[in-house]
Chains A and B, each alone.
Chain A
Amino acid sequence: MTEMLIKNGFVFDPLNGINGEKMDIAIKNGKIVESVNEHKAKIIDATGLTVMPGGVDIHTHIAGAEVNTGRMIRPEDHIKDVVRKTALTRSGTGYSVPSTFVTGYRYSKMGYTTVMNPSMAPLGAKHTHEELNDIPLLDKATFPLIGDWWFVLEYLQKGDLEGCARHVAWMMETTKGYAIKIVNPGGLESWGFGRNVHTIDDVVPNFGITPREIICGLAKVNKMLNLPHSIHLHTNNLGIPGNYVSTLETMKALESVATDGRPVGHITHLQFSSFAGDSWGNMKSAAEEISKYINNHNHMTFDMGQVIFTDTTTMTADGPFEFTLYQLSGHKWVNSDVETETSGGIIPMHYKRKSAVNAIQWSIGLELALLIKDPWKMFMTTDHPNAGPFFKYPKIIAWLTSRKARVATLKKCHKKAQKKSLLPSIKRELSLYELAIVTRAGQAKALGLKNKGHLGVGADADVAIYNINPETLDIAKKYKTARRAVGNAAYTIKDGKVVVKDGEVVQQVDGKTMWLDVETSEEMKVDEEMKRKFRQYWTVEYENYPVFDHYVKVSDAITVKASV
């Protein structure tokens, strides 16, 4: 039974320009095809339903050392959200840092089929992949943290871009990664001795290089390697009032790297990098300044990092920032620096409506998403679980598509936030077509995933079908109904198999791990000198460092031909 026909649904496929057309989608052997034999195929009657490509999440912390430490230290978070074993599914726990099986099931129930784990310390790459293997129903990939890697800092300081590019290529393959991730560049190495950087031109102690040089250097390396995604960047000064200035400087710095119209950088969870003011007392939104710049420049993409009012857990590679959060909140705090590579921190965080700062943060994410005119530039995320757990996405969808929903929430926020918020003056409501862009098509395009985020012939047969009839349901008015619909897919189809029906898992599939096999013209030399340096820098042998093939359960190696 390898043929399927989804009949008569309202299809939204922005990458192919399809906007709510009533049409059939044909699937064969896990791929979208032109047509199938109606008499042999499994028929799914999508009459009155919305059909979209499966959801794609460009940034969600779901696997690896940091996520797992987050799980380990929050038993009080798990106890309130338990998941029973069924004949078909494994048991587990939530809430803000769900166990691996639960992660897969919950994403799939919302119609998601592809997720990107955005932070992987290369030394712990095996751990990340082991966890990814245990996340069912989804295709996944992960981004190694390279921005503060000693080898990278040394190459860039010397100005040896080609050497750096070859090294990064080797590293991408060795850790089975998908994109270059940079977090608070220069700040993490500084944090090794408890320090940080504050502007993009601060010099990193002991390495003689600036964040600006790291960002631009790696952006150039990214281009030289022809990687499918641009550099994925968590800016310096994240979460500090007044940081929009360095965010603008970062974007300006990358202007010169963009030469062929393709984006050269992606700034993630932009909300955290868009604060104006100079203290927590007068902190406010810089969404206007930031979105103005973005509306006039086309060399970057972004995702929201939208706040949800709930008790969640922050976890990032930004060690110094997490320590700042500890100093503000006094909550339990984890710090996890990784030799030669990166740092990290974890702290629980409760976003409250009655906290002026949290409410302003909530407003910023939405302001950015609505003021940035082109939906192909700005995608929906919560930087799970930093600004909120991913299974609260339906709430964000309601806020994006319904002014009524925004007003209802804003009303309950701290008065100060209500006064400062730009939302009352914003009338825009995303259409279903635009929603499909910010939750799948745009994300897939920015990631360079050719077979995801669309329903054209040749695409992977990952489809989400929702109980929304665009002709009879006004999602802006009836946002609660719409919210329920996107939270419980009528059908989620993965590789041409129905895995979720009416919000319940009905079949188990494994999903594959995508990674880049980067081919440079000259391979990086792994000679004795290299091995010796390796042994000096790390406490593991070079031989034991790579993620061997058997670590990836279902492997999808994507060959990339570098220009170096």
Chain B
Amino acid sequence: MSVINAVTCPICGCLCDDIEVTVVNNEVVKIKNGCAVCEAKYLGYNSEHRIRKPLMRKDGKLVPVSMDEAIHKAGEILANANYPILYGWSSTNCEAQRVGVELAEEVGGVLDNTAVVCHGPSLLGTQEVGIPTSTLGQIRHRADVIIYWGCDPWSAHPRHLERYTSFTEGRFEDSEWKSYVNKVKAAAGMKKLLSAQRREEPKKVHDTAAESVDFNKPPETLQKEGRKLIVVDVRKSMSAEMADYFIQIQPNKDYELMQAMRALVRDEELDVDQVAGVPVKYLREVVDLLVNCNFGVIFFGMGLTHSAGKFRNIEVAISLTRDLNMRTKFLIMPMRGHFNVSGANIVFAWQSGYPFGVDFSLGYPRYNPGETTSMDVLLRGESDAALVIASDPGATFPKRAVQNLVKHPLIVIDPHMNATAMLGDVVFPSAFVGIEVEGTAYRMDNVPLPLKKVVEPPEGVLSDEEILKKILREVRLIKSQKTKQKTEAA
């Protein structure tokens, strides 16, 4: 039995690196410090959905083949393609991502990562207005106003609050955990009271409307001492339950609300009484709080990137943050989802200049989301081959895009038989990065962290990096043979 400390969890953008893993006979048996999602992965990754041998589609069925045969087929597909897509990259290490860039460049294809369905709009927003941000530790030490806008960390990034924001001890700010616990106890107490009352008077029809979510109360709860937690969402999420103040916003109206706040920061008068379902008089109080705080931060997620306005929602959120810097210290940060989606953007950018949607078809990198992004290429049916790795577009892309993906030869590299693998023509089993393979990943605030190998991968299962290197070598071989044939024929 061995106990391995300071393991970096390979699941979400939190990239917690304090996980303690206990291994017995090459199996993970216990996890300490991890959240439920972390435990679920470490204890359940070796499921029956795992692929153990390379597969190739013959007569409509996926059958096991040798690694050499699969590599050769994959190499042929890519070397002969006129406009291939190389997509995914977010759940693997930087070492594999680097080979990906080289491969995309070699085959003259489109290199894209999952940001295209996730925080791509955030990247687009920063390309328009920049971004005032920091590493997560700055938030822990200094933030007295924390806003989660359009995201639900309690569900999607479970340890975010306890490691980085409201419920952690900083050098200049204390944890609000105790105050939250007291609030929950009080709320539970109130619920018990109301429930007891109902039992006393069973005939009385209780007023669900009055008990249900209150649309935007006045922000009196923000008068408290200590860190303040504000959540903005279209429904009362788990995170909203914990907030000191919850703003319920009408769906698809985030742009208007933030633009109105920008005007209020500049002391402008508005002609309207409410914006996005929020009374302007409450908004003014919230803006007052923001302007007078010591250090504020906005974390945002798919609520902004996926609702009407997309990248302009991020642009206005960043503009609001930037405008607040005229009065105080304010920062903003995207809640990146996959554990190494940041890494993919970072690696692509330093090698090509662009963070995603990089088109190498002309022999040099080109970038124009909407034109060179994989999703759009697929919707227009422009590609004629694809390699998908460390992602599952078969499950996450729109129907027409998946139809066009499947129409042409599809290579898949994944540990599991996921939706995309089931549609593949050549499928490679790969080892789990962060469990069976070491490497580097980048946290949501772009801090690089090392991933550990805690167990050995199954026999014959290679890492993404190794598989990609083999394919690259094969592609180069095939292309040089083609050139030789051409010159001999001439």
Q: Touching in the complex, A and B, CB below 8 A?
A: yes
Q: Is A332 an interface residue (CB 8 A)?
A: yes
Residues of B406-455 whose CB lies within 8 A of A: 440, 442, 446-450
Check if A541 sits within 8 Å of B105, measured CB to CB. no
Check if A127 sits within 8 Å of B123, measured CB to CB. no
Check if A539 sits within 8 Å of B346, measured CB to CB. no
CB distance from B398 to the nearest CB of A (A): 25
- Residues of A in contact (CB 8 Å), total 64
Check if A85 sits within 8 Å of B105, measured CB to CB. yes
Check if B449 sits within 8 Å of A193, measured CB to CB. no
Residues of A518-564 whose CB lies within 8 A of B: 535-544, 548, 551
Check if B354 sits within 8 Å of A323, measured CB to CB. no
Check if B367 sits within 8 Å of A124, measured CB to CB. no
Residues of B90-105 whose CB lies within 8 A of A: 94, 98, 102, 105
Picked from B98, B163, B294, B353, the residue with its CB within 8 Å of the CB of A92 is B353
Known contacts: A123-B135, A127-B442. The answer to whether A206 contacts B354 by CB under 8 A is no
Picked from A69, A130, A347, the residue with its CB within 8 Å of the CB of B448 is A130
Picked from A72, A90, A535, the residue with its CB within 8 Å of the CB of B345 is A72
Q: Is A194 an interface residue (CB 8 A)?
A: yes
Known contacts: A71-B353, A84-B363, A193-B295. The answer to whether A334 contacts B136 by CB under 8 A is no
Check if A537 sits within 8 Å of B137, measured CB to CB. yes
CB distance from B113 to the nearest CB of A (A): 13
Check if A192 sits within 8 Å of B138, measured CB to CB. yes
Q: Is B133 an interface residue (CB 8 A)?
A: yes
- Main SS class of interface, A: mixed
**Contact bitstring A55-95, B, C-beta under 8 A = 1, else 0:** 00000000101011101111100110011110000111100
Distance, CA A98 to CA B354, complexed state (A): 11
Known contacts: A127-B448, A541-B17. The answer to whether A336 contacts B133 by CB under 8 A is yes
Check if B134 sits within 8 Å of A335, measured CB to CB. yes
In this complex, what residue of A is CB-closest to B94? A130
Check if A93 sits within 8 Å of B365, measured CB to CB. yes
Check if A72 sits within 8 Å of B126, measured CB to CB. yes
- Main SS class of interface, B: mixed
Check if A91 sits within 8 Å of B138, measured CB to CB. no
Check if A544 sits within 8 Å of B8, measured CB to CB. yes
Check if A333 sits within 8 Å of B132, measured CB to CB. yes
Q: Is B68 an interface residue (CB 8 A)?
A: no
Q: Is A237 an interface residue (CB 8 A)?
A: no
Check if A194 sits within 8 Å of B325, measured CB to CB. yes
Cβ–Cβ < 8 Å partners of B299 in chain A: none
Q: Which of B94, B98, B169, B447 has the most CB of A within 10 A?
A: B447
CB distance from A155 to the nearest CB of B (A): 16
Picked from B137, B329, B352, the residue with its CB within 8 Å of the CB of A340 is B137
Cβ–Cβ < 8 Å partners of A245 in chain B: none
Distance, CA A210 to CA B98, complexed state (A): 44
CB distance from B279 to the nearest CB of A (A): 30
Check if A91 sits within 8 Å of B331, measured CB to CB. no
Check if B134 sits within 8 Å of A336, measured CB to CB. yes
In this complex, what residue of A is CB-closest to B98? A134
Check if B350 sits within 8 Å of A332, measured CB to CB. no
Distance, CA A67 to CA B447, complexed state (A): 14
**Contact bitstring A108-139, B, C-beta under 8 A = 1, else 0:** 00000000000000011011001100100000
Distance, CA A192 to CA B365, complexed state (A): 37
Picked from A72, A91, A193, A540, the residue with its CB within 8 Å of the CB of B447 is A540
Q: Which of B105, B172, B331, B353 has the most CB of A within 10 A?
A: B353
Picked from A84, A99, A337, A347, the residue with its CB within 8 Å of the CB of B353 is A99
**Contact bitstring B389-411, A, C-beta under 8 A = 1, else 0:** 00000000000000000000000
Cβ–Cβ < 8 Å partners of A551 in chain B: 440
Cβ–Cβ < 8 Å partners of B345 in chain A: 72
Distance, CA A310 to CA B152, complexed state (A): 44
Check if B133 sits within 8 Å of A93, measured CB to CB. no
CB distance from A33 to the nearest CB of B (A): 37
Distance, CA A539 to CA B130, complexed state (A): 25
Check if B448 sits within 8 Å of A93, measured CB to CB. no
Q: Is B179 an interface residue (CB 8 A)?
A: no
Q: Is B140 an interface residue (CB 8 A)?
A: yes
CB distance from A128 to the nearest CB of B (A): 9
Check if B133 sits within 8 Å of A335, measured CB to CB. yes
Q: Is A338 an interface residue (CB 8 A)?
A: yes
CB distance from A541 to the nearest CB of B (A): 4
Check if B350 sits within 8 Å of A206, measured CB to CB. no
CB distance from B231 to the nearest CB of A (A): 22
CB distance from A133 to the nearest CB of B (A): 9
Q: Is A100 an interface residue (CB 8 A)?
A: yes
Residue numbers of B with Cβ under 8 A of A are: 5-6, 8, 17-18, 94, 98, 102, 105, 123, 126-138, 140-142, 163-164, 169, 171-172, 294-295, 322, 325-326, 328-329, 331, 345-346, 349-355, 360, 363-367, 440, 442, 446-450
Residue numbers of A with Cβ under 8 A of B are: 63, 65, 67-69, 71-75, 78-79, 82-85, 90-93, 97-101, 123-124, 126-127, 130-131, 134, 192-194, 206, 323, 326-327, 331-340, 343, 346-347, 535-544, 548, 551
Q: List 21 A-B contacts (CB under 8 A).
A: A71-B353, A75-B354, A92-B365, A93-B364, A126-B450, A127-B446, A131-B350, A193-B295, A194-B328, A333-B322, A334-B126, A335-B134, A336-B133, A337-B331, A338-B138, A340-B141, A538-B137, A539-B135, A543-B5, A543-B6, A544-B450
Extra inter-chain contacts (13) besides given A193-B294, A343-B134, CB under 8 Å: A78-B354, A78-B365, A91-B105, A100-B350, A127-B442, A127-B446, A194-B329, A326-B130, A332-B127, A334-B130, A336-B133, A338-B138, A339-B140
